[in-house]
Chains A and B, each alone.
Chain A
Amino acid sequence: MAFHEISLTVNGSLEQVRVPSNLTLMRLLRESLALTGTKNGCSAGECGACTVLLNGEPVNSCMVLAVECDGAEVITVEGLASDGQLNPVQAAMMQAGGVQCGFCTPGMLISARALLDRNPDPGEDEISEALVGNLCRCTGYIRILESIKEAAKLQATRA
Chain B
Amino acid sequence: MAHPITPKSSSPVGESKPRIDAREKVTGAALYADDIQFGNKLLYARIKRSPYPHALIKKIDVSRALALPGVKAVVTGQDFPGFIGLYLKDRHIFCRERVRYVGDPVAGVAAINPETAEKAVNLIDVEYEVLEPVFDPEFGASPQAPVLHPELGQYIVASFILPRPGSNISNHFKIRKGDVSSAWQKCSKVIERKYRIPHIQHVPIEPHVAIAKVEESGEATLWDSSQSPFAQRDLIAETLGIPQSKMRVIAPLVGGGFGGKAGVSMESLAVAIASKVRGYPVKLLLTREEEFFTAFVRQGLVATFKMGCDVDGKLLAMQNTFFWDGGAYTEYGVNITRAAGYSCTGPYEVPNVHTDSYCVYTNHPVGGPMRGFGMPEMHSGLEQCIDELAHEIGMDAVEFRRRNCLKGGSILPTGGRMHPTGLSECLEKAAEAIDWGRKAQPSAPNKRRGKGLALMWKAPAMPGNAGSSAWIELAEDGTLTLGVGCQDIGQGAFTVAAQMAAAAFGVPYESVRVATPVDTRYSPYEWQTVASRITWSTGNAIIAAAQDARRQVLNLVARAWGETTDDLDIVNGMVVSFKSEREIPVKDFAVAGLPKPDGNGWMGGPIIGRGNFIPADVTGLDPETGQGEHAVVHFTTGAQAIELEVDLDTGRIEILKGVAAFDVGKAINPELVKAQMEGGLIQGISSALFERLQLKDGVVQNASFVDYRIATSSDLPKSVQSIIVEVPQADGPWGARGIGEHSMVPTLPAIANAIYDAIGIRFEGPPFTAEKIYLAMLDAGIVK
Contact = CB atoms under 8 A, between A and B. Distances in A.
Interface of A: 30, 34-44, 46-47, 49, 76-78, 80-81, 86, 90-91, 93-95, 97, 99-106, 109, 127-129, 131-132, 134-145
A128 B27 contact: no
Interface of A is mostly: loop
Nearest to A77: B28
B682 A140 contact: yes
B18 to A, nearest CB: 7
B20 to A, nearest CB: 11
Given A86-B27, A97-B675, A138 B256 contact: yes
B26 A135 contact: no
Identify which of B37, B705, B713 gathers the most chain A CB atoms within 10 Å of its CB. B713
A5 to B, nearest CB: 20
A106 B28 contact: yes
Contacts of B205: 39, 41, 47, 49, 101, 103-104, 135-137
B678 A102 contact: no
Contacts of B202: 137
Contact of B26 (A43, A93, A132): A93
A123 to B, nearest CB: 14
The 4 closest A-B CB pairs, nearest first, are: A37-B28, A101-B490, A140-B682, A103-B255
B620 interface: no
Nearest to A86: B26
Interface string B25-66: 111111110110100000000000000000000000000000
A51 B672 CA distance: 27
Nearest to A48: B205
Contact of B713 (A76, A77, A131, A137): A131
A42 B492 CA distance: 25
6 contacts: A37-B27, A38-B28, A102-B21, A103-B256, A137-B204, A140-B681
Nearest to B204: A137
Given A41-B288, A97-B19, 16 more contacts: A36-B34, A40-B207, A40-B285, A44-B705, A46-B705, A49-B205, A77-B27, A80-B27, A94-B19, A100-B490, A103-B204, A103-B205, A105-B25, A106-B28, A129-B714, A131-B713
Given A41-B207, A94-B18, A94-B26, A36 B31 contact: yes
A131 B203 CA distance: 18
Contacts of A131: 712-713
B711 interface: yes
A78 B206 contact: no
B26 A141 contact: no
B2 interface: no
B96 to A, nearest CB: 32
Interface of B is mostly: loop
B255 A101 contact: yes
Interface string B282-295: 00010110000000
A40 to B, nearest CB: 7
Interface string B651-673: 00000000000000000000110
Nearest to A95: B18
Given A132-B712, A136-B205, A142-B678, A36 B35 contact: yes
A37 B706 contact: no
Contacts of B258: 137
B713 A132 contact: yes
Nearest to B253: A102
Contacts of B488: 101
B705 A141 contact: no
Nearest to A87: B26
A47 B671 contact: no
B6 interface: no
B488 to A, nearest CB: 8
B26 A90 contact: yes
B109 to A, nearest CB: 19
Nearest to B32: A103
A46 to B, nearest CB: 4
A133 B672 CA distance: 25
A138 B25 contact: no
Nearest to A145: B713
A131 B706 CA distance: 16
A41 B682 CA distance: 20
Contacts of A39: 32, 205-206, 255
A147 to B, nearest CB: 10
A136 B678 CA distance: 12
A41 B28 contact: no
Nearest to A76: B28
Contact of A43 (B25, B27, B288, B716): B288
A42 B205 CA distance: 8
B678 A143 contact: yes
A127 B254 CA distance: 27
Nearest to B27: A81
A101 B288 contact: no
Contacts of A132: 712-714
B35 A137 contact: no
A77 B25 CA distance: 10
Contacts of A134: 713
Identify which of B28, B490, B678 gathers the most chain A CB atoms within 10 Å of its CB. B28
Contacts of A144: 713
Interface in B248-267: 253-258
B23 interface: yes
B289 to A, nearest CB: 8
Contact of A46 (B23, B288, B683): B288
Nearest to B707: A46
B211 to A, nearest CB: 14
Interface string B675-687: 1001111110000
B492 A100 contact: yes
Interface string B204-230: 111100000000000000000000000
A141 to B, nearest CB: 4
Identify which of A35, A100, A144 gathers the most chain B CB atoms within 10 Å of its CB. A100
B716 A142 contact: yes
A106 B35 CA distance: 13
Nearest to A96: B671
Given A44-B704, A132-B713, A94 B206 contact: no
Nearest to B21: A102
Contacts of A103: 32, 204-206, 255-256
A145 B490 CA distance: 18
A140 B678 contact: yes
A159 B675 CA distance: 31
B720 interface: yes
A44 B205 CA distance: 13
A137 to B, nearest CB: 5
B710 A135 contact: yes
A137 B712 contact: no
B22 interface: yes
B677 to A, nearest CB: 9
Contacts of A36: 28, 31-32, 34-35, 37
Contacts of A137: 202-205, 256, 258, 683, 710
Contacts of B568: none
Contacts of B287: 43
B489 interface: yes
A61 B15 CA distance: 39
A65 to B, nearest CB: 15
A143 B682 CA distance: 12
Contact of A139 (B206, B285, B679, B712): B679
B491 interface: yes
B288 A44 contact: yes
Given A103-B205, A105-B26, A129-B714, A97 B720 contact: no
